[in-house]
Structures are given as C-alpha cells and as structure tokens.
Amino acid sequence: MKARSTKIIPILQHQGQDVYLIRLINGRGMEVELSNYGALIKSITIPDKNGIPVDVVLGFDNLSDYFSPEYLNAYPYLGTIVGRCANRIGHATFEIDGKQYQVSANTPPHQLHGGFEGFDKKLWKIKSISETPESQLVLTYLSPDGEEGFPGNLQVEASFTLTDQNELKLEFTAQTDAPTPVDLTHHGYFNLDGDASPIFDHSLKIDADAWLGQYPDCLTTGEIIPVKNSDKDFTNSRKVKSSADFEGYDQAFILNHPDITHCSASLYSHKTGIQIEVFTNQPAIQFYTAQHLGPLNGKRNQTYQTFSGLCLETQVHPNAVNTPHFPSVILHPGEEYLHATTYKFSTL
C-alpha cells in the first residue's frame, strides 16, 4: 500500500480569484485531479488490467483550456458539477406556492443545467483538503438569491473522497432560506479505453425498467415508458451501440433501487479491463453518448468527436419542477438537500 497524498496548486486567476488544481492520490496509485473552477473533475487515472495508468475521463491537459473560446463556444460541460437544477427546466419557468418564477433560458425556450453561468462556471471556495482518514477535497459555493432567476440564497457544499478501495465518493449538500429547486449532478464524460475512440463497444448495464419519454428537444413529456423489448433495455450488460443506424442516447432512466449501497449502473471496457460501478441515492440517471460533442481538441493532442465519451448523470427526473408525478426537487428552509454518488473502479 502506498502513502495517500493531496496537493493543491494555484494555476491561474479568473475574475481576480485563484483557480487551483487539486490532486488526490489513494494508497493504491489511483489519482484524481479536480479544480475549484466548476468543481470539475479534470482527470481520473487508474491502472488498467496490465498495470498501465489510464485516464478515463475527457477533459484538457491544462486548466487554462477550460477558459478558451473554442471550448466555451462548444461548451459540453466536461467534468463539471451542474446546478442549481440539472438538465432541462421546461420553458425556463416554474411555480412554487402559487408564485411563478422565470429563470434564464440558455437553450431557448428552456433552461439547461442551471443557466448561462450555472455552478459549472463558478469559482468554489476550498473548505478543506485532507489525507486522513482518506484523501478528500471539500468545496463550498453560495448561490445568491436571484442568480439565473432562482429564488433564495443557497449554500452548497461538495465533497470528493478517494478511498483505498478505488472509490470516488461524491456528496453534495445544500440549505436554502427560501423554497427553490435543487438538483445537482456530475457531468463527467467517461471513456474507459482512455482515449478519444468511440465508446460503442463499452459494455453497459443500467438497473432501470423504465425511461422517461421526451420531445425532440429532449424535454421530458411526463410519460414513463418500459424499457422491455426496446433499444433502451440495459437491464443486462450489453454493448452501447445498439444497431448499425445508431444515433446515440440522451435519455433519463428511472432506477429500480436508488440506494447508495446498490449498484445502479456499470460500465466496462474490454480493451483496458477497467470497470466502473455507479452507486447513488438519486432516482434517475441521464445516459448521454456525446453525439453532440466535438470536434474539440482534448487531452494528449486527441480530438474529441461524437461518441468519444458517455455520461451517466445521477439526478432527479428532468423537469421534475413542472411535472407533479415526478419526485420533487423543491428544497425548503430547514431542510437539507443530500446527493450521494459513488464511482467504484476495478479491473476484470
């Protein structure tokens, strides 16, 4: 067993504040790089079946590239934490206690992932960084009343814990002084081959018997549709690419057993032998195969193209704030929002 370690390195300044690179290393040589900008996960590096280190998430070599015009114009939310409300809010509006709220419509007519400058573009404060009992980073952000149109001051905390069992544990908590929608998620793009090749041959399993119907613009309709006898049936592990005319996935799946002790999804690379298992207390996973990604210059001079990665975004049902029969995303004063997701890595 190797010694755990943590490092924090100031890289650049943004809006007069320091942007840091934070590195967590566990006792088995697994390494995670993060930043206080967007609370993003820059890299996750783990030995493959031959002991060769492989970085399994898309991103950039340098933090400065996350501020480049090329990236900001394309803006696929690489590795960031998104909020206040992940996914789409229909027509950028919702009602709480009889009062109508209009939020920013960054993907007209809807809002996506919190608006024009959601949590993914904020500089979070570093609350703590530690090596014992496990390598951990804790970040905080205060979202002021009215930000992107949302009501209430929202205090958010995000912790990232790297265990010696090769688990990366994410925990998000929040408190508010006025009722407001809260639904955070990690928007990481996984490629367990460790490159920019298509993820078609990755094997995926999602413990979900139903998915959410949606309009062509991906806004959910409120319909709950069984996966059985469809191309959305991942109840048994199978390759991501479902047919020769594969157009990709961007759907929310309703998890059968949303519990942090239950594996709700697993992804496997036959090339590297790396497997990731996803455990979460959230009721849904948005499965996205990056069909709108690229071309974008990424790590190690690679060019990210369509299907170069995939996202497994643990969250509440999209547009729940406007769909009464979906789980509520409204947080009230005196309550605490708690989102827990664990990525467990292994080699087979």
pLDDT tens for residues 114-171?
999 999 999 999 999 999 889 999 999 999 999 999 999 999 999 999 999 999 999 9
User: In the annotation, is 91 catalytic?
Assistant: no
The residues facing 104 across adjacent strands are none
Q: What is the pLDDT of residue 24?
A: 97
Q: What is the pLDDT of residue 309?
A: 98
Residue 26: CB partners within 8 Å, gap ≥ 6? 2, 4, 134, 135, 162, 163, 164, 166
1-5, 128-132, 227-231, 276-280 — which is least confidently predicted? 1-5
| Domains (range + CATH), the chain | 5-347 (2.70.98.10)
Q: How far apart are CA 85 and CA 320, in angstroms?
A: 10
Average pLDDT over residues 279-291: 98
Peptide bond into 318 cis (omega under 30): no
SS3 94: strand
Asked if pLDDT for residue 2 goes beyond 80, the answer is: no
- Candidates 186, 187, 202, 339; catalytic one: 187
Asked if pLDDT for residue 64 goes beyond 90, the answer is: yes
Q: How deeply is 41 buried, as exposed, middle or buried, from its count of CB atoms within 10 A (0-12, 13-18, 19+)?
A: buried
pLDDT band at 340, cuts 50/70/90?
very high
User: In the annotation, is 14 catalytic?
Assistant: no
SS3 119: helix
Q: What is the pLDDT of residue 243?
A: 87
- Token pair 């890299």 in the structure block, residue: 43
Q: What is the pLDDT of residue 294?
A: 87
Note the pTM of the prediction, 2 decimals: 0.96
The residues facing 284 across adjacent strands are 254, 315
Q: How far apart are CA 32 and CA 38, in angstroms?
A: 15
> Following CA atoms 303, 307, 312, 315 in sequence, which dihedral angle do they give, to the nearest 10 degrees?
90
The answer to whether residues 343 and 167 touch, using CB atoms and an 8 Å cutoff, is yes
The residues facing 188 across adjacent strands are none
pLDDT tens digits for 207-237?
999 999 999 999 999 999 999 999 999 999 9
The answer to whether residues 329 and 150 touch, using CB atoms and an 8 Å cutoff, is no
H or E stretch covering 346: strand 337-347
Average pLDDT over residues 74-102: 98
pLDDT tens digits for 93-102?
999 999 999 9
Peptide bond into 84 cis (omega under 30): yes
Average pLDDT over residues 261-283: 98
Q: How far apart are CA 79 and CA 42, in angstroms?
A: 6
Q: What is the pLDDT of residue 328?
A: 98
**Closest C-alpha among 214, 265, 225 to residue 88:** 214
Q: What is the pLDDT of residue 298?
A: 97
Asked if pLDDT for residue 3 goes beyond 80, the answer is: no
Q: What is the pLDDT of residue 5?
A: 84
Average pLDDT over residues 168-178: 98
Q: What percent of the chain clears pLDDT 90, i.e. is strictly above it?
A: 95
Asked if pLDDT for residue 1 goes beyond 70, the answer is: no
- Token pair 């609350």 in the structure block, residue: 127
The string of DSSP codes covering 145-173 is TTGGG--S-EEEEEEEEE-TTSEEEEEEE
- Candidates 33, 313, 317, 339; catalytic one: 313
Instruction: Tell me phi and psi for residue 6, to 5 degrees.
Output: -135, 145
